């Protein structure tokens, strides 16, 4: 029997969270994790969940509907709710949970009230330069994810050739670093010891990482045995060139 009713993958862009979400969903027992509360706006949440509340609905009533629908979507046909949460939308999520459960409660206590007993998973990427290059290249080209056979899984804009921008890379490195620090500060404040996962371990041993998560959730790790990665790496020669050029221009070892 699962030890948890839910889990939250606390991460930042280009850290491998799409791969992890697809692995977990493919088991058929570990929810259907997705970025249900990605942008910090209620309109985005409603659009992602396909909801149109009545005009007379109060904010609290809208939130009750949103979270009820989100839990249903994030569970899929399983007994456990999965959520991927990017840092840039996290404070807004906490603010809305506080509207449903006001008073002298911590953020983590509000998560338990809404989603049940929750495991927090901290997925990070140590190589912030590679993470920044991956993010900026995807943002420029519009291509975010490929299937293992090379077909496009997610494209947000028509293709355009990527252009090296050292200043943008530097700013992105700082942003991704700040996201990690913010997660770590929140875990410390909430006295949470998350399950820590790395991009490198996930990339090098996806099945082993999946087993680690299933075991921690109290689910059968054998469910990972036949699961294969559902996404393909986007890093290419251009990515390598950008990393090498940035290191040379900034005297980074």
Q: Binning pLDDT at 50, 70 and 90, where does residue 131 land?
A: very high
Residue 244 has pLDDT above 80, yes or no: yes
- Name the percent of the chain lying above pLDDT 90: 82
Q: pLDDT tens across 12-27, in order?
A: 999 999 999 999 999 9
The residues near 195 (Cβ < 8 Å, ≥ 6 apart) are 119, 120, 121, 122, 212, 213, 216
Got the DSSP string for the chain?
Answer: --S-SEEEEEE-TTSSHHHHHHHHHHTSSS---B-TT-SSSHHHHHHHHT----TT--HHHHHHHHHHHHHHHHHTTSSSEEEEEEGGGHHHHHHHHHHHS-SS--HHHHHHHHHSSEEEEEEE-S-HHHHHHHHHHHHHH-EEEE-TTS-EEEE-S--------HHHHHHHHHHHHHHHHHHHHHHHHTT--PEEEEHHHHHH-HHHHHHHHHHHHT--GGGGTT---SSB----HHHHHHHHHHHHHHT--
Residue 185 has a pLDDT of: 98
Spatial separation of the C-alpha atoms in residues 58 and 203, rounded to whole Å: 44
Residue 252 has a pLDDT of: 64
CA separation, residue 181 to residues 10, 97, 177, 195 (Å)? 12, 22, 6, 16
pTM beyond cutoff 0.75: yes
Q: pLDDT tens across 161-197, in order?
A: 899 999 999 999 999 999 999 999 999 999 999 999 9
- Name the percent of the chain lying above pLDDT 70: 98
Residue 40 has pLDDT above 70, yes or no: yes
Residue 2 has pLDDT above 70, yes or no: no
Backbone angles phi, psi at 25, to 5 degrees: -65, -35
Rounded average pLDDT over 34-41: 93
Residue 239 has pLDDT above 70, yes or no: yes
Q: pLDDT tens across 54-109, in order?
A: 889 999 999 999 999 999 999 999 999 999 999 999 999 999 999 999 999 999 99
Residue 157 has a pLDDT of: 80
The residues near 229 (Cβ < 8 Å, ≥ 6 apart) are 19, 22, 23, 148, 206
Domains of the chain: 6-250 (3.40.50.300)
Residue 253 has a pLDDT of: 54
Residue 153 has pLDDT above 80, yes or no: no
How does the average pLDDT of the chain come out, rounded? 93
Residue 146 has a pLDDT of: 77
Rounded average pLDDT over 32-44: 94
Residue 81 has a pLDDT of: 98
Spatial separation of the C-alpha atoms in residues 32 and 84, rounded to whole Å: 10
Residue 193 has a pLDDT of: 96
């Amino acid at each position: 029997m699962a030890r948890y009713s839910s889990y939250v993958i606390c991460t930042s862009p280009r850290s491998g969270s799409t791969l992890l979400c697809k692995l977990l969903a493919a088991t058929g027992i570990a929810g259907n994790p997705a970025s249900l509360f990605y942008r910090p706006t209620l309109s985005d949440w409603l659009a992602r969940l396909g909801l149109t509340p009545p005009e007379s609905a109060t904010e609290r009533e809208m939130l009750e509907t949103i979270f009820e629908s989100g839990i249903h979507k994030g569970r899929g046909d399983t007994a456990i709710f999965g959520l991927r949460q990017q840092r840039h939308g996290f404070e807004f999520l906490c603010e809305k949970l506080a509207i449903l459960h006001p008073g002298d409660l911590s953020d983590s206590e509000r998560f338990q009230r809404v989603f049940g007993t929750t495991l927090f998973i901290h997925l990070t990427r140590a190589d912030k330069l590679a993470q920044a290059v991956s993010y900026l290249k995807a943002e420029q080209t519009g291509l975010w994810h490929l299937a293992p056979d090379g077909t496009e899984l997610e494209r947000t804009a028509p293709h355009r050739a990527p252009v090296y921008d050292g200043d943008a890379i530097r700013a992105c490195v700082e942003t991704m670093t700040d996201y990690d620090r913010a997660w770590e500060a929140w875990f410390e404040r909430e006295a949470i010891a998350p399950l820590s996962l790395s991009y490198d371990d996930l990339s090098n041993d996806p099945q082993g990482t999946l087993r680690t998560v299933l075991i921690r959730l109290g689910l059968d790790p054998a469910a990972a045995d036949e699961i294969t990665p559902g996404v393909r790496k986007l890093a290419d020669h251009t990515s390598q060139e950008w990393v090498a050029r940035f290191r040379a221009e900034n005297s980074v070892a």
